Amino acid sequence: MNESLLLVAFLAFAAGFIVKTLLTGLKAFSLSANFVQNTGFQSLMLLGTAVYKISYIDQLCAMTLEKMGKPEDAKKMRLELQEQFEDWKVEVVEDYIQSYPVAYKWQLEFNDWKGLMGELTDIYKERKV
């Protein structure tokens, strides 16, 4: 009888240890997922701010060239900047997705620039920034 009681106690302890380990691991994964997602959101917000500022400066440069009486140079600069910007957008999205931790890629809801901007818009609406 003592052996049966000892076996039940051991099995109860083992089951409790396994359940505790699983729940602790699940909680740690959940907290890590929240951290990665919030860090990703912050990165997207920083990216959005950078895009806005770069676009503003580009337009300011083009307007300055036009005011200086060089509309052809301004047009050429705008086309060149637009081409560079398009290449940069593709590169940014690819690098962002590639750099995102594999275990949390399920959080990503975009795969191109348009989707990234949609996600950024949702973040701004949700946080009322």
Whole-angstrom distance, CA of residue 51 vs CA of residue 2: 73
Is the Cα torsion angle 101, 103, 104, 105 positive or negative in sign?
A: positive
Q: Pick the residue with more confidence: 18 or 29? A: 18
Whole-angstrom distance, CA of residue 113 vs CA of residue 92: 8
Mean pLDDT of 66-77: 85
Residue 68 has pLDDT above 90, yes or no: no
Whole-angstrom distance, CA of residue 76 vs CA of residue 87: 17
Residue from 48, 49, 78 nearest 61 by CA: 78
pTM score > 0.75 for this model?
A: no
pLDDT in tens, 82-100: 898 889 999 999 999 999 9
Phi, psi of 74 (to 5 degrees): -65, -40
